[in-house]
Amino acid sequence: MPAKSRHMQRRKERITEAKKNTKLARKIRHRRQWQAGGGLIAIGAGVTLLFLFQSGFF
């Protein structure tokens, strides 16, 4: 539904853009959290393997 005036149309567009940006920011934040978790797991696995090699397990 079109807005009644140019001012209201711009306001409506700003609100729509803000909602889109909020959704995109949430998606990016979620992706970064998963990447950080994966990095921690990889570092933990590397340290564990290094420890096992040092102790002569392999």
Which pLDDT value is given to residue 26?
A: 97
Q: How do the domains of the chain map onto residue ranges?
A: 1-58
Q: Is the pLDDT of residue 57 over 90?
A: no
Torsion of CA 22, 23, 25, 26, to 10 degrees: 120
Distance set, CA 11 to CA 5, 25, 39, 52 (Å): 10, 21, 42, 61
- Write out pLDDT tens, residues 15-46: 999 999 999 999 999 999 999 999 999 999 99
State the pLDDT confidence band at 47, using cuts at 50, 70 and 90: very high
Cα(26)–Cα(31) distance, integer angstroms: 9
pTM: 0.61
Helix, coil or strand: residue 4 = coil
